[in-house]
Structure 1
Amino acid sequence: MPIHSRRRLPRQTVFEPYFTSKEAGKGSGMGLAVVHGLVETFGGYIRVKSEPEQGTVFRLYFPVLAQTVIASDREEKEAIPTGRERLLLVDDEQHILDIYTQVLEGLGYRVLAVSNGAEGLEAFKASPESFDAIITDQTMPRLTGAELASAVLEIRPEIPILLCTGYSSALSEEKAFELGIRTYLQKPVQRAELATAVRQALDQKGA
């Protein structure tokens, strides 16, 4: 379905993570990057047409699946690791929070999703032993993912923490590991990558 916008968008950069035509602090620039990743995951592609004073049209194309392809897709889903553990999910971008929650709950996990680091720390302190792992964004107001991780690890040093961050993050992978963070993921994180990373972090905890 076409989506119209009055603002002309540069087609070469519009799907890059953190690209935004909004003012500083008004948009994260991750929305279209996430959409692009999801469309590609399902074998589709996006066409963009933009004209001055006319607006912008996005067209999303997906393959028609035959019955045999659907069966193959089911086999692929079965191969993706699942679990029953309790996860604390922290991200200040609501659309990413909704997508990750849906993915993780679809894999069998029980998820408490909160929209900022301070709220995440409060939820953890209220019941530290009720969570098996934490998945957090890095760049958030009030409390960053690194600050959240440091506070959590003072209470439970063994809990797995997975940090999701953008390409422009000031926190390097090496620094994240020094803080005690188990897994460092670059956004946008695809479904299979997220599922595998969570399962590996949980299994390492129990090893």
Structure 2
Amino acid sequence: MARILLAEDEESLRDLVARALIQDGHEVVANCDGAAALDALLRDEGRYDLLLTDIKMPIMDGIALALAASRDYPALPILLMTGYADQRERAYGLELLIRDVIQKPFTLATICGAVRDALAVPQMH
């Protein structure tokens, strides 16, 4: 079981992904935007096994969140999600920080599989 920090501004998708990951045996801390997720990450002193974040969100987007998270917690695996091709392109050059970019719409099996794959990779320190 992994402790996953989830950042997704679309409430229905956030709830759906959180429920799927919980059913897959994980603990999920869900947040409505990157700033709230970063607050949770700092408050919990980085005690997460994975950061799963949407790229396009208000207040703080997923790229800014990934950069802040990797600066403070470089061993934290990061998965990005996006429904926008231009947002996916923004993730190029971040290969050392992120494990994958999952294209929306996705199936719950796809997101659970991507999470399992990201967690299976040995931690980088």
- Normalising by structure 2, we get a TM-score of 0.91
- 2:87 & 2:123 partners in 1: Cα distance? 31
**Displacement after TM superposition at 1:188 (Å):** 1.1
Q: Which residue pairs with 1:27 in the alignment?
A: none
Structure 2 regions of 5+ residues with no counterpart?
none
Matching of residues 56-205 of structure 1 within 5 Å: 84-172=1-89, 173-177=91-95, 180-205=97-122
Identify the structure with bigger relative contact order (alpha carbons < 8 Å, sequence gap 6+). 2
**Displacement after TM superposition at 1:195 (Å):** 1.3
**Displacement after TM superposition at 1:166 (Å):** 1.2
- 2:66 & 2:60 partners in 1: Cα distance? 10
- 1:164 & 1:139 partners in 2: Cα distance? 9
- 1:128 & 1:157 partners in 2: Cα distance? 13
- 1:128 & 1:205 partners in 2: Cα distance? 21
Instruction: Give the letter aligned to residue 100 of structure 1.
Output: V
Structure 1 regions of 5+ residues with no counterpart?
1-83
Structure with larger Rg: 1
- Aligned partners of 1:159 and 1:205 also within 8 Å: no
Q: Which runs of 4+ in 1 moved over 2 A?
A: 167-171, 173-176
- 2:122 & 2:50 partners in 1: Cα distance? 9
- Structure 1 counterpart SS, 2:52: strand
- 1:140 & 1:118 partners in 2: Cα distance? 10
Q: Which residue pairs with 1:39 in the alignment?
A: none
**Displacement after TM superposition at 1:206 (Å):** 4.4
- Structure 1 counterpart SS, 2:101: strand
- Aligned partners of 1:158 and 1:205 also within 8 Å: no
For residues 118-142 of structure 1, the C-alpha deviation after alignment (integer angstroms, 9 at most, x for no partner) is: 0000000111332000100000011
For residues 39-60 of structure 1, the C-alpha deviation after alignment (integer angstroms, 9 at most, x for no partner) is: xxxxxxxxxxxxxxxxxxxxxx
- Normalising by structure 1, we get a TM-score of 0.56
Q: Taking every aligned residue pair, what percent have the same amino acid on both sides?
A: 34
- Aligned partners of 1:135 and 1:163 also within 8 Å: yes
**Displacement after TM superposition at 1:175 (Å):** 3.2
- Aligned partners of 2:49 and 2:119 also within 8 Å: yes
